[in-house]
Each structure stands twice: as structure tokens, then as C-alpha cells.
Structure 1
Amino acid sequence: MPTIDPALPAVEAEGLSKRYGRTLAVDRLDLRIEPGEVFGFLGPNGAGKSTTLRMLLGLARPTAGRARVFGDPAEDVRAAHRHLAHVPADVALWPNLTGAEALELLANLGPGTDLGYRDELVERFDLRLDKPCRAYSTGNRQKVALVAAFATRAPLLVLDEPTSGLDPLMGREFQRCVVEAAARGQAVLLSSHVLAEVEAVCDRVGILRAGRLVQVAGLAELRRLRRHEFHLSFAGPVPAGLAAVPGVADVEVLGEGRVVLTLAGEPAPLLRAVAGDDVVQLSVREPSLEEIFLGYYGEAAR
């Protein structure tokens, strides 16, 4: 089983860049992830997240800069992959193998597997191993990959949209496994579109935009990004002063007693502000991650 060296960063990238023709997919990215840290990787579609992960995994050669995994060059795939386990966004398994056979093969390919922990994870993820992989749903293929990755106890887990296809109950089980991995000293690099998932497990988040890592922040900043859109209808005119309510922004009066606004943080101040007015309808929508980033970086009007 691989040994974690706490003196080395799990991931270290310096000036990492990737160009495809005239397109600069990743631009001078600097990144450092420590052992035991859960790092969330966020950004709109096309921001360069997948390209960055491919370079960190040694699957794409950088145009400039370098990346290391526990001190080994990422381009040296054999050396770097001794330290990591990877779960891709779209898991493909061997169609004629059963789930049990697929797990056994993955264990032989990886950096070592804790078989007892693997059996525990099979139970926790409610995974049937006697079925052929061709009969698995997307969610069950994802479970196989997650069980295999967590059971390796690899010092670094690279998880790319790992809960796609999982139901909410299994999503919570995944979060438990991430927290347990970090408690054992493993580093986790989590690329996800599920903002609540990242918020639940990550210590820091890196925000990628147009190929550049524009911000690395803790959870407080992540929570500031997380806004909800409120649609309110009143029997009378829209009350004045909504823009002054803590956390409220982007107030747009639609006429006929209707208003739409965004709210960061707890809804209690807003609800108190409208408690004396005749609210006839209220709905709440959580914007997509794409919308959040477009608004956050002032791109919505472009």
C-alpha cells in the first residue's frame, strides 16, 4: 500500500499551460494541494478543468510549465500513478466482466488495495457484484469506480464529477468517504458541478475561468458565491428597501407587485423584511453553477 510523505505536496503545478492551436485552454496555472486536504475545482463549462486534470494525470503534455504528484513529474505516468487513484466523469467498464471481476482487475492495476475496506464499501454503496458490467446503470458503474478508488487508500484521489448518476443517499455516502479519506491523510482533488457537494467536503476551492485559476478561496468565499434567486409577488406594490436587506442583490421589479432578487446567506432577514406585506406567492431557485460564475465575474451582460 502506498506511503504518504507529508513533507511533499500531493499536487504541485507551476506555470502549467496548454495550447491547442490558437486556443489557450490553460494559462499559467499555479496550484498546490497538501496531504489531507480536500480541494474543490470549480468553473464554468469550457473553463479548462478537464484539460488541467488530464495534465495532472499525465494524459496530456503541457505546452509550458510543470506538474508534480508527490514529487514525481506528472508526465512520468508510471511514477505519478503510484500515488493516485482516478475516477473519471464517465466510467467505462469491461462489459463481459462481473462487478466483482472488475474490482479485482482494478485492484491489480492500482497502487494496492485494502480488501477489507473494499468489502465494507461494497456494502455501504449497496453494490451488487454478481451482475455483468454491461447490465450496470451509469450510477452503478460510478459506484464500482468509487469503491475501487477509495479502497486503494491512494495518497491522492482525483475525482472528476464523481457523483454523476448517484442518487442523493449514495451522494451522502460518497461525502462520508471523502471525509474519511482526508482524516487518514489522503489528498482529494474534486472537480464537481454540484456546489453543495463541494461546500460539504472541501477545505479550499480553486475557481477556474477561461483557463486561468483566478481565485483560490476557503469555504467562506464559496458560501458567498452560493446565491438563491427569489421570486416574490405581492397583493400591493413591491415594498421599498429590499435592496438594503443583508445579502440581497440584483433587485429587479417586474411590475404588478412582482420582484425578482438574489440572496446570499440565510433567508431570515429577507423574510422578516416582507413579513408585514401581503405576499401572495414566493418561489426560490438555486442558480446553476454556470449562472453563478457568469454573474460573479460580470459576464452576464456581455
Structure 2
Amino acid sequence: MIEIAQLTFGYGKQKLFNNLSLSLKPGHIYGLLGINGAGKSTLLKNIAGLAFPWSGTCTVNGVSASERLPSFLQELFFVPEEVYLPSITAAQFAKSTAHFYPKFDRRQFNQLLSDFDVPTDRALTKLSYGQQKKALIAFGLAANTSLLIMDEPTNGLDIPSKSQFRKVTASALTDDRCMIISTHQVRDLDNLIDSVLILHNQQIAVAHSIDNIADKLNFSVLPSNATNYIYAEENLNGLHAITQNTNVDYTKVDMELLFNGIVSNTTGLTEILNASK
């Protein structure tokens, strides 16, 4: 699906990626995490062919993303962090845009608008920012492209809408579809993504499935005087800690704790995750 090899890119003299490599497969929802300024949006733009590598390659379904061929574009939908929609209704937007996407499902689009509680009889520019974003997310899901990219899609959504977003996005995944969702609000992707990508220090520091992470790491609360952990944060109950899973004792992956451990350059975490088992 997506093959990135030795990608180097930056703006001006600032290098964001240095020989970055990554392989993504269909049938998965990937969560792309990184601190502000790490280059999450820029990496997504390279995948979408909206930015061009200094060196290296990025191909989607065997086609160079930077060529932006029609066959590539009709299988890609990109939901940007900031949305700018025309002064037309959602139905009019679908009528004018859907023909670019051969697998667009109008009935699915209308159902998603209903699920998101987005009015269909008002101009998109008259809606709140959150409703505009939900309208574009609904269109992206209903386009049924093989690649769906969403950059910070939960920004501007209230708590009930974030829950609905997780539900409808999960239901739209198919075996031949790949979704990439970037966020700095790590908990917004809980119970949605099946694979984690962490962009840090110009590289993909982590690229693993949730199951693989749970197989190698344990997430638990330890006494405040404990020392047998790889990374930990203090809380009211003791230490919220990550330890190596040596006893086949599976726990729920705490993505926020994992993310904090990785960006803190905690020695041992990436070594354990990347080691063969």
C-alpha cells in the first residue's frame, strides 16, 4: 500500500526527516503520534503528494505520490487539520465533488451526516467549525478511497462527537482500505487504532501494532517506591509504569504513557519493541 524509503525532507535549512523508512498495509487504522513540530502533518503531505522529498521515495499502491496521477488521487482522500469549505450545503458539496471518487456512497454519506448530527439544509460556512469538520470527515469516509488520511480530525469536536468519530471510523474500515490518523491528543484514538506510529527525532521511533506492544510491554500501577520499571509517571495511586512483559501478562496499552516514554528518550523502550521475539 504505502512504501516510504530513505525519505529526507525539510523546509529551508530545517530538516524534519532523515532517511525515514516506513511500510503501511491495507486493513489497518494507523495512529500517527508526535510532539508539536515533529513533522506529522508534513509526513502526511509527503504521502499525499502535497510535499516533495529532498531524497528518497514515497509510493502508494506502487505509484509515486509526488506525481499526483488521476488514478492515485481518486483513491486518496485527505482531511486536513484546518478545513475551508464552500458556501453550499453538504448535499451540494457531494453533488459537485463526489464524481471524483468512483466508490463514493451517497447513502453512506447521508447516514454519516445524520450520525454526526450535521444539518443538511444549511450552507457549510454557516455551521460551527466542529460541524464543518464532521461534514468533511463524513465525506472522506463515504468516498471509500483505499487511502484515507486525517490530520488532527478531533480538533474542534466535542466529547460526544469524538466518541461518534471513533465509532463511525472503525465501522468504515475494510480489508482493502488503509487509514492514517494523526493527533497530539493521544487519548482521542483509544479503542480506534490498531497500530501506532510515533514520529520522533526525524525518524519513526515506533511502528507496531497494539497487539505487538501489549505482547512486549506491561502497563500497570506500581508502589511509589518501586524501581523495577522502564518508564513511569507519578499519580495519586503510585507510579503509572511501563515494564517489560516477561510473564505473558497482557494489559491494555496506555498510548499516552507509551508516547511520553518514547519522547522522553527512555532507554530500553524502543529496544524492547523493536527486538524480535
* TM-score (normalised: structure 1): 0.73
Pair 1:27-2:18 in alignment: yes
Pair 1:107-2:90 in alignment: no
Change (3 A) 1:294 1:35: closer
Change (3 A) 1:296 1:19: closer
1:151, 1:31 → 2: CA distance?
A: 27
What's the offset of the Cα at 1:214? Answer: 1.6
Pair 1:244-2:226 in alignment: yes
2:227, 2:258 → 1: CA distance?
A: 24
* 3-state SS, counterpart of residue 75 of structure 1: helix
Answer whether contact 2:233 2:241 (CA < 8 A) is retained.
no
* 3-state SS, counterpart of residue 243 of structure 1: coil
Change (3 A) 1:287 1:200: closer
Change (3 A) 1:224 1:91: farther
**Identical positions, percent:** 26
1:150-170 CA-to-partner distances (Å, cap 9, x unmatched) read 101111111111111112222
* 3-state SS, counterpart of residue 17 of structure 1: strand
Change (3 A) 1:242 1:57: same
* 3-state SS, counterpart of residue 140 of structure 2: helix
Q: Select the residue among 152, 158, 179 that pairs with 2:149.
A: 158
Equivalent residue, structure 1, for 2:247: none
2:41, 2:127 → 1: CA distance?
A: 25
1:10-159 matches, cutoff 5 A: 10-78=1-69, 79-94=71-86, 96-159=87-150
Which sits farther off after the overlay, 159-168 or 75-84?
75-84
2:116, 2:25 → 1: CA distance?
A: 28
Q: State the Cα RMSD in Å.
A: 3.1
Answer whether contact 1:41 1:205 (CA < 8 A) is retained.
yes
Change (3 A) 1:289 1:131: farther
* TM-score (normalised: structure 2): 0.79
What's the offset of the Cα at 1:262? Answer: 4.0
Unpaired runs of 5+ in structure 1? Answer: 1-9, 231-240, 253-258, 266-285
Q: Which amino acid aligns with 2:241?
A: A
Q: Which amino acid aligns with 1:58?
A: G
What's the offset of the Cα at 1:294? Answer: 4.0
Pair 1:295-2:264 in alignment: yes
What's the offset of the Cα at 1:205? Answer: 0.9
1:61, 1:25 → 2: CA distance?
A: 13
* 3-state SS, counterpart of residue 173 of structure 2: helix
1:235-268 CA-to-partner distances (Å, cap 9, x unmatched) read xxxxxx622288783569xxxxxx8964137xxx
Answer whether contact 1:89 1:160 (CA < 8 A) is retained.
yes
* 3-state SS, counterpart of residue 200 of structure 1: coil
**Could you say which structure has the larger radius of gyration?**
1
Change (3 A) 1:98 1:296: same
Unpaired runs of 5+ in structure 2? Answer: 243-254, 268-277
Answer whether contact 1:224 1:264 (CA < 8 A) is retained.
no
Which sits farther off after the overlay, 68-77 or 188-197?
188-197
Change (3 A) 1:246 1:107: farther
